[in-house]
A = this chain, B = another copy of it.
Amino acid sequence: MSFPELQNDVFLRALQRQPVPYTPIWLMRQAGRYLAEYKEARARAGSFMGLATNPDLATEVTLQPLERFPLDAAILFSDILTIPDAMGLGLSFAQGEGPRFAKTVRDEAAVQALTVPDMGSLDYVFRAVTQIRHALSGRVPLIGFAGSPFTLACYMVEGQGSSDYRTIKTMLYQRPDLLHRILEVNAEAVAQYLNAQIDAGAQAVMIFDSWGGVLADGAFQAFSLDYTRRVLSQLKRESNGVAVPSIVFTKGGGMWLDQIAAVGSDAVGVDWTVNLQQARQRVGDRVALQGNLDPMALFASPEQVAAEARRVLDDFGTVSPGAGHVFNLGHGISQFTPPESVVALVAEVHEYSARFHQAGGANQA
């Protein structure tokens, strides 16, 4: 496939720990409900999945935040649960509630029946990736993504969100063999899915291990990290001769940062509980770090938002040769965020961060 030439590669270079002139920034869930134009498109689509499964609409909302803020990356508008949906579990989003599956995978029979879905059934995602990549016209790179095998399993076993993950943890402690089998299928599915996104035009990929942090030490490594490693080991590392860097984000995984940094990704996302200076000491130059402003800091005044942004950049400090930092929130942006806060945040990160970089060779838009 042929796409317009990339004009701003600061994000991709930072992920690969190459010199850049400033710290790039994008925001998890940057295309979302805090934007009036998103809510308008969502209403037109009729439902969340109506939005996610329509490449025209997915393209429209993916580009919305870029019209408002000079962000350094776009991320595919989609959901991590497209894979279990394609497995036939029947995903729906009730109004005002979280995702819910019509079927769950809890017993031996359901686990044995589970298979890697035909990627053809996820073609709407890959078509959206290609369409967005064209629509971006090379302004910034496009990030593809998937949930981690364990995070997908949480939803597949619980059937919905959970406060204590009792059902999947009961399986983990009582029938670890069943959970391992689900995770094997998920790992294969996630790898195929991300590779298809790369083929369709994704220029970086991110694995969201949203729920790995609820596991006990030991269980995290065996049931989450090992399967993320399996995904990464199967990923295409480049497309048309250009590197496609990868990011792994484990919410609540700060304690396991050393191990996550060795999983095989180019970058590791960290939440706001992590001290970036200590994190750098722990990971050395093995990976770039992405993060980690508390999304709730965006409810302060623009001046205070800027001060909090500086604090994160100060914590990371000078981006010495071989290091890499991508600014982000420590979790998805809240639907109640005032967009003015994002204006202040992006401006401050771009301006203030320059002092931490030696002039690099990156292309800037």
Residue A311 is within 8 A (CB to CB) of chain B in the complex: yes
Q: Is A308 an interface residue (CB 8 A)?
A: yes
Question: How many whole Å from A128's CB to the nearest CB in chain B?
Answer: 29
Report the nearest B residue to A301, measured CB to CB.
Answer: B174
Are B215 and A297 in contact, CB atoms less than 8 angstroms apart? no
Interface string of A202-220 (1 = CB under 8 A from B): 0000000000010111111
Distance of A293 Cα from B173 Cα, bound (Å): 12
Which residues from B are CB-within-8-Å of A272? Answer: 216-217
Is A169 interfacial (CB-CB < 8 Å)?
yes
Would you call B217 and A296 a contact (CB within 8 A)? no
A296 to B157, CA, bound (A): 15
Closest to A253 in B: B273
**Are B215 and A273 in touch, CB under 8 angstroms?**
yes
Contact residues in B for A301 (Cβ distance below 8 Å): 174
Most buried by B among A173, A215, A252, A308: A173
A169 CA to B293 CA, complexed, in Å: 13
Structural contact, B218 and A311, CB atoms closer than 8 A:
yes
A166 to B337, CA, bound (A): 10
Residues 122 to 166 of chain A near chain B (Cβ within 8 Å): 164-166
Q: Does A65 contact B (CB under 8 A)?
A: no
Within 8 Å by CB of A173, from B166, B215, B300, lies B300
A255 within 8 A of B: yes
| Shortest distance between the CB of A50 and any CB in chain B (Å) | 25
A216 in contact with B255 (CB, 8 Å): no
**Residue of B whose beta carbon sits closest to that of A300:** B173
Chain B hits for A220, CB < 8 A: 273
Beyond the given pairs A169-B296, A218-B275, 20 more chain A to chain B contacts, judged by CB atoms under 8 angstroms and listed by A's residue number, are A164-B334, A166-B334, A166-B336, A169-B294, A169-B299, A170-B296, A170-B299, A170-B300, A173-B299, A173-B300, A173-B304, A215-B273, A216-B293, A216-B297, A217-B273, A217-B315, A220-B273, A252-B273, A255-B255, A255-B275
